[in-house]
């Protein structure tokens, strides 16, 4: 099997555009890890992955990690998993905690940013900072992923170059179902692909 055959069933023209594109992913948990997998399967050329956490057993119900990776750094474990899908994907990984001052240094070279934080306040400053410094580059946020079912509530809303995927209402107190988290992560990835392809 050749590497090119991985993408032989992609939408026409998609692979060529994605191969020369770079996406930043802020947070490699339920949203970030699943979005990264979808993007690598689609043929993205480069990902910038940033997270400071280690893989925990409680992550495995919704995050793209495995039992033998528990205790390892999320960015390193995710990088290994992504390389096992497409060895040619270029990955920049940073095992650091993102703060408002470091966003541009970490992600400034990306064509767009996927926001995959847990906390609302962190989402807010990340989106605001990115939008100020990169007004022409989209940011795609996961917003409201908790609970089960209720597929019809999962939508995408747009405010300028800011996009929100999810129900926009549910919070972590409801608990997390891997299937629902993955739906939103894949909404983020699908939208990122659409935006990159439509701009080229």
pLDDT in tens, 78-122: 999 999 999 999 999 999 999 999 999 999 999 999 999 988 899
Q: Alpha-carbon distance 98 to 126, whole Å?
A: 9
Average pLDDT, stretch 158-179? Answer: 92
Q: Where are the domains of the chain?
A: 3-198
pTM: 0.95
Residue 190 banded pLDDT, cuts 50, 70, 90: very high
Q: Quick check: 4 pLDDT over 80?
A: no
Backbone angles phi, psi at 166, to 5 degrees: 135, -165
Q: What is the pLDDT of residue 2?
A: 55
Which of 30-39, 100-109, 129-138, 162-171 has the weakest average pLDDT? 162-171
How does pLDDT run across 22-45, given as a tens digit for each residue?
999 999 999 999 999 999 999 999
Assign 1 a pLDDT band (cuts: 50, 70, 90): very low
Which residue in 94, 95, 31 sits closest to 64, CA to CA?
31
Average pLDDT score over the chain: 95
Residues whose CB is less than 8 angstroms from the CB of residue 148 and which lie 6 or more positions away in sequence, other chains included = 177, 179, 180
CATH number of 3-198: 3.40.50.720
Radius of gyration (C-alpha) of the chain in whole angstroms: 16
Q: 142 falls in which pLDDT band (50, 70, 90)?
A: very high
């Amino acid at each position: 099997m050749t590497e090119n055959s991985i993408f032989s069933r992609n939408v026409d023209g998609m692979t060529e555009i994605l191969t020369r594109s770079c996406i930043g992913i802020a947070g490699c948990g339920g949203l970030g890890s699943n979005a990264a997998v979808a993007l690598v399967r689609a043929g993205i050329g480069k990902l910038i992955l940033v997270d400071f956490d280690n893989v925990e057993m409680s992550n495995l119900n919704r995050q793209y990690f495995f039992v033998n990776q528990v205790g390892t750094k999320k960015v390193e474990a995710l990088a290994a998993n992504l390389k096992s899908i497409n060895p040619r994907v270029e990955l920049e990984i940073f095992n650091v905690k993102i703060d408002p001052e470091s966003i541009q240094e970490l992600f400034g070279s990306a064509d767009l940013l996927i926001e995959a934080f847990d906390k609302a306040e962190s989402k807010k400053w990340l989106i605001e900072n990115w939008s100020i410094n990169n007004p022409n580059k989209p940011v795609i946020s996961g917003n409201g992923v908790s609970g089960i079912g209720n597929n019809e509530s999962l939508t995408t809303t747009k405010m300028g170059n800011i996009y929100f995927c999810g129900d926009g209402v549910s919070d972590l107190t409801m608990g997390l179902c891997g299937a629902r988290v993955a739906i939103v992560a894949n909404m983020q990835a699908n939208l990122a692909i659409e935006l990159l392809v439509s701009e080229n």
